[in-house]
Amino acid sequence: MSLPFLPADPMPPILLIQIAVAAVWLYEGLWCKVLGRSAHELEVVEAAPIFTKRQAWWFLKALGAYETLLAVWVLSGWQPVLCALVQTVTLIGLNSGGILFSRHVIPDPPGMVIKNTAFLVLAWVAAGFLAA
């Protein structure tokens, strides 16, 4: 059954999905970490016993640069399946490290995992369409 107010193909353009995924990486990487607009990000990294305060600061800046590059990669459309895989491994690593070392400063660890899982679904949808 077709509804007159819905488009024939309800799937948004792939570029819109890429922009949405890249915007998350750009916000998290450049805004929150590189530019330091989220003090909580540093607090989470500093809570990990593997870093001194200085190392945590440098790690956060490097992580932010890496996440910013992920945004560029997502927008490029190059090797989309590998890109989605790298995003998945990155978020599994970050979520695992956060829960393992910094759970006490993360307000809602289960919520973080659920949101990141939904985000990765979007990343894999983009990869699937670009790879087809």
Q: How confident is the model at residue 10 (pLDDT cuts 50, 70, 90)?
A: confident
What is the distance between the alpha carbons of residues 118 and 107, in angstroms, rounded to a whole number? 18
126 CB-contact burial (10 Å; exposed 0-12 / middle 13-18 / buried 19+)? buried
What is the distance between the alpha carbons of residues 97 and 116, in angstroms, rounded to a whole number? 14
Q: How many CB atoms lie within 10 A of CB 49?
A: 7
Q: Three-state DSSP class for 64?
A: helix
Q: Is the pLDDT of residue 43 over 90?
A: yes
pLDDT at position 97: 97
* Structure tokens that stand for 85 in this block: 């895989």
Q: What is the pLDDT of residues 69-122, one digit of tens each?
A: 999 999 999 999 999 999 999 999 999 999 999 999 999 999 999 999 999 999
Tell me the HSE value of 33 on the side-chain side, using a 13 A CA sphere. Answer: 24
Tell me the HSE value of 8 on the side-chain side, using a 13 A CA sphere. Answer: 0
Please answer whether residues 58 and 34 qualify as being in contact, where contact means their C-beta atoms are separated by less than 8 angstroms.
no
